[in-house]
Amino acid sequence: MAKKVPFHRYLREARLARGMSVSEVAERVGVTSPCVYFWEMGRTRPRDANLVALCKTLKLPIRATRDMAEA
């Protein structure tokens, strides 16, 4: 059985797969770089509006990503 990837690692891997820096993602989502860093380190989770913008920026499925964030 495959091990479930933690939400914060999923975000980081998605960003790296797109070849984007933390500051690029932050600028597109409309938050600060430390905010994105904290999401990727698992210290905080994005609010709903930020999660939608993050999914659009990283081309992630919104519903599946939202479900993963809530788990």
Q: Does a structural domain hold residue 2?
A: no
Q: Does a structural domain hold residue 63?
A: yes
pLDDT score of 49 more than 60: yes
Q: How many domains does the chain have?
A: 1
pLDDT score of 12 more than 70: yes
| Integer angstrom CA distances of residue 28 from 1, 8, 51, 54, 71 | 36, 18, 12, 8, 25
DSSP, collapsed to helix, strand or coil, labels residue 10 as: helix
pLDDT at 69 (0 to 100): 85
pLDDT digits (tens, 9 = 90+) for 23-35: 999 999 999 999 9
Q: Does a structural domain hold residue 1?
A: no
Q: Does a structural domain hold residue 16?
A: yes
14, amino acid identity: A
Query: By residue range, what is the domain housing residue 42?
Result: 7-70
